Amino acid sequence: MSSDQMSEETAEQRTRTDQTAEQPLVRVEGLRKYFYEKDSLLDRLLGNEPVAVRAVDGLRFDVHPGETLGLVGESGCGKSTTGETLLHLQEPTEGVVEFQGENVYELEGADKNAFRRNAQVVFQDPFSSLDPRMTIGKTIQQPLDVHDVGTAEERREKVQELLERVGLSADQIDRYPHEFSGGQRQRIGIARALALEPEFVVLDEPTSALDVSVQAQVLNLLEDLQDDFGLTYLLISHDLSVIRHICDRVAVMYLGEIVEIGLVEEIFQNPTHPYTEALLASVPRASTDERDRERQTLSGDVPSPRDPPSGCRFRTRCPQVIPPDELDLDQPVYRDIMNLRELVERENISLELVSSHAEATDEGPLVDEAHIDEFVEDIKAAVLETALPPREEAVIDEALAHLATEDWDGAAEILKDRYESLCERESPSLGEGPHPAACHLYNE
């Protein structure tokens, strides 16, 4: 994204905040976090270019006081990195996070301590996030010690109070983590996060390591605590039913970007982004109607964040890619052609294996002049799933014939000329309003 767009967005954001009377508790603006591979000293000496893994790539959202905002997405979409970067547990690559109006990354001294007190986190795995050599009392008391709250006696009392509050008993204070079950350990993690009476808690997959019956206990507890202490939550989860149950608003992430954000009811009942739709359709429901429920599954895997697709990142799997205006194609046919293009662009068809007419030689063309037609037919049979209309077939035949001389670029060029979609040229922006979606279908 260019810097012009950035400043434009910032300006928009400002006017928006001015309009809302209520100041958001957390305001995230253009947040980016890249991890670099091949970035060691040796790589630099050898002149290797570092490869950026774009874990989080330009997020903008607000968290309002007292609400629960959900971040949902598949593994590798950058949910957890967002949570960690937001709390400054990771150094951001770019962007601003404001907590109560102050930039978190510029805080120092007492202000920084106050932020650390006010923003806490509960981690996913209750088995590795507690120190096995510390009693749970010590674990919970540690933040109080660090921030020097009250006298030793008061701290211990506070810990006992917290234990009771999260549904454990105060006399368990001197026990060690291994004596507790997964659900109980997660309660300990929650007690520790609440010790400093924070306003904001990031819950990073708080129940994904737990069984459903225990998950229900923990979710109920989290809701009670929110009511009692007026907490604001950022809940990170891959489980859509958990999100639906506990969140007020939800942001759906795909490959480091937010594709849709809005009220939970809105998103679940009227999803606008094709990814959100597919995600919701994929979840199997625990009811007897499930077997007959029609649903469309997404094909393929999530692309690598090292080299994300141009334009809309979801376009390689999207069941609703927008064809160029002059073409009149059914979606399955267009999808099929787009998949073929992807394979050609990535030179990902093993020609010798697909066609018996292709023979690897040291020099000269791969395929004999006389057999080019059969060669093209072989590739189409192996790669395409739908029958093409005659006009498109002619274009594709022409393009694939280039592969006979291993001219991948030539083939890609012909295909691009005819089939390039709006979705790959322009990156859709997440619009304004209560329920924006980053999709060209929606923005038009």
Binding footprint of other proteins on the chain (CB under 8 A): 74-75, 167-169, 172, 175, 179-181, 183-184, 211-221, 223-224, 238, 240-242, 244-246, 268, 278-288, 290-291, 295, 297-299, 301-302, 348-350, 353-354, 382
Angle (nearest 5°) at CA 33 between 83 and 61: 55
Edge to edge, the sheet with strand 94-99 lists: 51-63, 26-37, 94-99, 102-103
Question: 85 or 184, CB closer to other proteins?
Answer: 184
Go through 246-268 and write b for each residue having 16 or more CB atoms within 10 A of its CB, e for each that does not: bbebbbbbbbbbbbbbbebebbb
Of 123, 126, 121, 120, nearest to 214 (Cα)? 126
Closest separation in Å from C-beta 326 to other proteins: 30
Closest separation in Å from C-beta 27 to other proteins: 27
Question: 207 or 272, CB closer to other proteins?
Answer: 207
Q: Which helix (H) or strand (E) holds 263?
A: strand 257-263
Question: 35 or 268, CB closer to other proteins?
Answer: 268
Closest separation in Å from C-beta 238 to other proteins: 7
Question: 131 or 265, CB closer to other proteins?
Answer: 265
Q: List, in sequence order, the alpha helices (H) in 293-389.
A: 331-345, 351-354, 372-383
Closest separation in Å from C-beta 32 to other proteins: 23
Burial class (CB in 10 A: 0-12, 13-18, 19+), 162: buried
Closest separation in Å from C-beta 391 to other proteins: 26
In angstroms, rounded to a whole number, what is the distance separating the alpha carbons of residues 202 and 235?
Answer: 6
Question: 92 or 262, CB closer to other proteins?
Answer: 262
Closest separation in Å from C-beta 319 to other proteins: 11
Question: 176 or 442, CB closer to other proteins?
Answer: 176
Question: 13 or 217, CB closer to other proteins?
Answer: 217
Phi-psi map region of 433: left, alpha, beta (phi>0 left; psi -120 to 50 alpha): left
In angstroms, rounded to a whole number, what is the distance separating the alpha carbons of residues 57 and 136?
Answer: 38
Whether 75 and 279 have beta carbons less than 8 Å apart is answered as: no
Residue 341 half-sphere exposure toward CB, CA atoms < 13 A: 22
Of 374, 297, 383, 390, nearest to 336 (Cα)? 383
Closest separation in Å from C-beta 77 to other proteins: 9
* Other beta carbons less than 10 A from residue 340's beta carbon: 23
Question: 219 or 441, CB closer to other proteins?
Answer: 219
Closest separation in Å from C-beta 336 to other proteins: 13
